[in-house]
Amino acid sequence: MNQTTKYGLFFLGGVESVREDIADAAAEAQVKTQEKKAKAEEAAAAVAETRETAVQQTAA
């Protein structure tokens, strides 16, 4: 194996490592986005429930 081939393989290994890191970061970002969306939906449901309770208490 000559030096060029050795460095080429080393470089390709580094590129693959970077690709895996990027894929991991993208997956983590997607999970965080889904968690944020779920929290926002829970908050919206809580607000709607609070409003409904307030309307019922006002009507009574």
Q: Hey, how many other C-beta atoms are within 10 angstroms of the C-beta on 13?
A: 10
Tell which wins on pLDDT, 52 or 27: 27
Chain-centroid distance, C-alpha 47: 25
DSSP codes joined into one string, 8-58: HHHHHHHHHHHHHHHHHHHHHHHHHHHHHHHHHHHHHHHHHHHHHHHHHHH
Q: Where are the domains of the chain?
A: 1-60
pLDDT tens digit sequence for 20-45: 999 999 999 999 999 999 999 999 99
Burial class of residue 14 in the structure, from the number of CB atoms within 10 Å of its CB (0-12 exposed, 13-18 middle, 19+ buried): exposed
pTM (2 d.p.): 0.66
